[in-house]
Structure 1
């Protein structure tokens, strides 16, 4: 919270370390005095200019990777919304008053996101510590010891970068396999009687963030009824995708024979108890009866479905919420509730990636969802699904998976 009377712009300019602010397009917004002094640049040479126009790679060094490494770090921060500390980098700087003359410099950068009210990254804090003096002698020509230290530090930094790159590639391969597995185990979009259902799945950005979100839609025995469910497994990668497939299949089978959604979740909870990795998974399931115009639902720690009534009212189905699966040492019967709907209503089930944002109360996300649903309530389910995702997910993608299923009633 801002304190009255403090000039934060002056504080920023006086910070003892090198600090600059960048837009998501990597254009300088501001730089403090220490940054300008140590980089040998004036404010006019930096502010409102693209980062790598101000500090390009040394064209005389074919092995220079400073711009590539720094750009990769900044892109990771934009994609994940999390800070990224880099290994020491050799990043030569052209002398401002001597064009064509490059000084060999070493830097240790840290890049930190600044989030806006909607959770999107609106600025990047680029803090740099010059470490050239750590690998050079402090005065006079460099001696053998200094040259050895310089070479060793640079070699270790390159080895660390190469290791990080190999890990990134390995995680990317794991992510591809997990996504393929997840896609194979999720049901395809299809017609439900004469009513259209739209489903969407958006994987998280970043190699490490493939999670276990899932959805399901089944025809129920007896009457004109369907079961619609979504769930979320704690964890990432192949293990989460495998657990997701087991829970989805188990709930799909249980829903076909259960008397109601609470009983289906009771069965799923017992099953989750013997599945490694299913602890604290969440799920919500709804039994929709088109003949009687009712929705009976039960939730195991999952965000509530949204029912958009034909009269424009949004009702969150939150009257039968219980702890996540396998959360109790001795399971007890789960609650369920029933609500009614009129022809033309729409029910929306989703996972938390759609509404939850860092450092934001969940009610804010629910309000954002309700507003988006009302703005597009007259659209068909396919258009509605695309519109909601476009409005609620960050432009660069979310750091958590998102599954959405929409059924016109």
Structure 2
């Protein structure tokens, strides 16, 4: 059976666990029959209503925290686009046959984001499974029945403590990501006028809590020349952002005083040995000369730059590839290659987040990039950069950061 033949509506209706679709302001939009049975109300009484208006906390329990915890989980999904698995949650439910009387109930809850085709967050999927019977079964000890409230100290309170720890860790990771992104943005150079059409992009991964060490650089050289580079530091978070800043600055300086990209990468490779966390970082550097109409490049373990010709053909510049920075135990001169370019061509440098996918050969990603470049070959660098990110990054967000430079030749 193909994907097109699967009746996903029928699958949704027959799921044994309760699933409801909520708007981003927590209003019911749809639910399956399992959710109706669990809620004790038909769909007609649920759709269009805010979840907390229909299911408030037990007013007779001053320690009730179901609304607070569920609100925090749903808001986290809406604000970050990440799924959230809640700890075991007690949430008493008012009996429909006896208004004002609440039954003690326990739930396993997972809240997930639902994205639209443009990666915008459209809905929140609210998956709920009642585990009250399981809790009561676990409460039977030596023939004596223990109520769920008796078990709170042993099970429920531990779940609450774990949830609080997870929330603190999540907040700490979010703060680290924000600081790392700010640091990384501050260290990446502003795009200065070069006399040529250049576009740069930096796209953080959508779902991860850790920023990576991707970077780019542009350097004006004497004559009608510029040096361009992209690189990637092994690791994540603030340490990777710090190493990225050091390597980018070192390569930027080396390009100004050496006679080519290979010599510049040699200098940075030697420097990387003295910087903790810089070993095995990758980079590609290219010197562009509009007078000679040539590209001279050297590659230190990085995905190859792509040269898009006016007719849509693409050459990957892979004739001067060497191991990553600081990877060799002894210094060895790096290779360098020079290729001509035709006016109207475009050079694209990028980091692996644009082309690599887990459990997929890199050649598949490079082929995908070549097709996208051919398809958008008539676009200027700014529009081309946006189109490549739109076409090549997964709609649910990339697992790795992406840096991208496009230069009209």
Q: Report the TM-score, using the length of structure 1 for normalisation.
A: 0.77
Give yes or no for contact 2:19–2:32 (8 Å, CA) kept in 1. yes
Distance (whole Å) between structure 2 residues aligned to residue 76 and residue 356 of structure 1? 27
Give yes or no for contact 2:21–2:124 (8 Å, CA) kept in 1. yes
Provide Cα deviations, 1:181-235, integer angstroms capped at 9, x if missing partner. Answer: 212211101221x2121111122335622111110011234x4321110001122
Give yes or no for contact 1:215–1:231 (8 Å, CA) kept in 2. yes
Give yes or no for contact 1:77–1:112 (8 Å, CA) kept in 2. no
Provide the residue aligned with 1:71 in structure 2. 74
Give yes or no for contact 2:57–2:92 (8 Å, CA) kept in 1. no
User: Which ranges of structure 2 fall in alignment gaps of 5 or more residues?
Assistant: none
Provide the residue aligned with 1:191 in structure 2. 193
Provide Cα deviations, 1:216-259, integer angstroms capped at 9, x if missing partner. Answer: 011234x4321110001122221111100000011112222333
Provide Cα deviations, 1:130-188, integer angstroms capped at 9, x if missing partner. Answer: 4434544768xx97775332245333333322332222222222222222221221110
Distance (whole Å) between structure 1 residues aligned to residue 257 and residue 154 of structure 2? 67
Give yes or no for contact 2:87–2:108 (8 Å, CA) kept in 1. yes
Q: Report the TM-score, using the length of structure 2 for normalisation.
A: 0.77
Provide the residue aligned with 2:324 in structure 1. 324
Provide the residue aligned with 1:298 in structure 2. 298
C-alpha deviation, 1:343, in angstroms: 1.0
Alignment of 1:333-344 (within 5 A): 333-344=333-344
Give yes or no for contact 1:57–1:66 (8 Å, CA) kept in 2. no
1:245 pairs with 2:248: no
Provide the residue aligned with 1:399 in structure 2. 399
Give yes or no for contact 1:224–1:291 (8 Å, CA) kept in 2. yes
Give yes or no for contact 1:201–1:401 (8 Å, CA) kept in 2. yes
Relative to structure 2, which stretch is displaced further, 160-169 or 103-112?
103-112
Alignment of 1:217-366 (within 5 A): 217-221=218-222, 223-366=223-366
Provide Cα deviations, 1:299-345, integer angstroms capped at 9, x if missing partner. Answer: 22211111111222222222222222222333433323222211121
SS at match of 1:312: coil
Provide the residue aligned with 2:369 in structure 1. 369
Provide the residue aligned with 2:382 in structure 1. 382
CA RMSD of aligned residues (A): 4.3
Distance (whole Å) between structure 2 residues aligned to residue 127 and residue 384 of structure 1? 40
Instruction: Assess, with a 3 A threshold, how the Cα gap between structure 1 residues 210 and 249 changes in structure 2: closer, same or farther.
Output: same
Alignment of 1:46-195 (within 5 A): 57-60=55-58, 63=65, 64-71=67-74, 79=82, 85-93=85-93, 103-109=103-109, 130-133=130-133, 135-136=135-136, 147-192=149-194, 194-195=195-196
Provide the residue aligned with 1:200 in structure 2. 201
Relative to structure 2, which stretch is displaced further, 397-406 or 128-137?
128-137
SS at match of 1:246: helix
